[in-house]
Amino acid sequence: MISKTCRYLLCFALAVLIGACAGGDEGVLRPSPGVGWVIGTQTDEDTGLSTVKILRTLNGGARWSLQTLPDGLEGLIGNDISVVSSRVVWAAAGAADIETNAGAILFTANGGETWSVQTLPDGMISRHIKCVKGISRAEAWAASLGGDVLHTADGGMSWALVDVRDSGGEVIAMTQVNRMDVAGPDIWIVDVAAGEQGVVHSPDGGLTWTREYLPDVTPGHGPLVVSAFSSEVAWAAVNSDGHLWGTIDGGRFWTRSIDSLTGTADYDDINASSADIVWIACNGGGWNGGFTARVHVTNGAFDARLANHYPYMMEGISPMSDDKAWAVGFRMESVEPDLPRSAVLMTSDGGVTWRRQSLPAQAYDVALWKVSFAGAKR
């Protein structure tokens, strides 16, 4: 006879197995702390032709491997990647030569075993897809460099152009989109060219939109990145400015931080792991390399943990918690040419120390741009 203890363990194991199998690719966030992706660009030395490259890890970065992608991505660069679960991932790409007006949205629903290039809608101003945010297996948002906002609710079988208008019916035109984020019904997009009014926000799932005002923005500068922790709390950073701008009331009012980490280099990515903790990837201006920072913001003041990663310009960051995060960056070709072109870094102590992870030899010349892990904030 089977003892009560054995019966309990068998039932428990069966329940776990059923739970793992049921709806396994529905796009619901499940604990998958070791599964992540990075996106970047590989450029042929002889022809100068660029193509999108994506790498995956199943064990927290102990091993990274190149993904097999569909044909037809030549001439494109990898711009963004958004992991919904260990199986569902969305990615964005755009033309290396912006004048060619080309781009793509890539999608996998089986953990990267296969990827598809999705069909973009007609009527787009710009087909250079700059950013994407996956919500589930069915739903995602994307935006082009030229200000087109796209939405799918059927897994990308069809993408719709979203009519971006304010409550009075006036069109809100964007000309230099760089980043977007989504929290619940709130969609946040940053338009660098619009300066102090460069945050474009919808509080109702894209039905209505508004331009929001960032105070104390230097003329000629505009928001480069945005991170939404919730519908009420969001953060933004402006190009060539080391401050952070934050809102705690859904974008009605933004305030600029008192402290600043740098006044000359761009924050190429920010992500909030808590309402008051923001992780930063800074490019450092090129020759000097860049840095990562974990910033605790209190009444506009910074308690920051900085780490320099010369010669790598840091471009993307994906926090799993207030302590654990991954970051990616690449070096200029002429700086420390014997090193791999890119670095993937991981911290588990809140950014005090970072460990560089090994990349496969086939990816040594890939310039990595963004990173996203299953279960992370982005």
Instruction: Average the pLDDT over 217-238 and give the result.
Output: 97
CB 290 within 8 A of CB 283: yes
User: Which residue would you say has higher pLDDT here, 263 or 378?
Assistant: 378
Query: What pLDDT is attached to residue 29?
Result: 40
Least confident of 25-39, 70-84, 162-176: 25-39
* pLDDT tens digits, one per residue of 78-105: 999 999 999 999 999 999 998 899 999 9
State the average pLDDT for the chain.
91
In contact, 152 and 162? CB cutoff 8 Å: no
Confidence class for position 285, pLDDT limits 50, 70, 90: confident
Inside any domain, residue 194? yes
CA distance 150 to 141: 6
Percent of the chain whose predicted confidence (pLDDT) is above 90: 86
- The answer as to whether 10 is a domain residue is no
Average pLDDT over residues 257-261: 95
Q: Is the per-residue pLDDT at 27 higher than 50?
A: no
Residue 289: predicted pLDDT: 87
Can you give the residue range of the structural domain that contains 129? 34-373
> Mean of the pLDDT values across residues 282-287?
83
Flag whether 331 is in a domain. Answer: yes
Is residue 19 one of the residues assigned to a domain?
A: no
Any domain includes 14: no
**pLDDT of 171 strictly over 90:** yes
What's the pLDDT band for 6 if we cut at 50, 70, 90? very low
pLDDT for the residue numbered 117: 98
Q: Give a yes or no: residue 102 inside a domain.
A: yes
Tell me, what's the pLDDT at 139?
98
Do the beta carbons of residue 179 and residue 191 sit within 8 Å?
A: no
What is the reported pTM?
A: 0.91
- Of the pLDDT bands very low, low, confident and very high (cuts 50, 70, 90), residue 5 is very low
* pLDDT average, residue stretch 124-143: 97
Number of structural domains found in the chain: 1
pLDDT digits (tens, 9 = 90+) for 104-116: 999 999 999 999 9
Report, as an integer, the average pLDDT of 187-194. 98
Q: What is the pLDDT of residue 3?
A: 47
pLDDT at 2: 42
pLDDT above 60 (res 232): yes
Whether residue 258 is contained in a domain is answered as yes
Q: Is the pLDDT of residue 151 over 70?
A: yes
Instruction: Judge whether residue 32 has pLDDT over 80.
Output: no
| Token representation of residue 129 | 């897809």
6 belongs to a structural domain: no
pLDDT value of position 33: 62
CA–CA separation, 179 and 14 (whole Å): 43
Query: What digits encode the pLDDT tens for the residues 323-339?
Result: 999 999 999 989 999 99
Q: Per-residue pLDDT tens for 346-373?
A: 999 999 999 999 999 999 999 999 999 9
**At 104, which CATH number?**
2.120.10.30
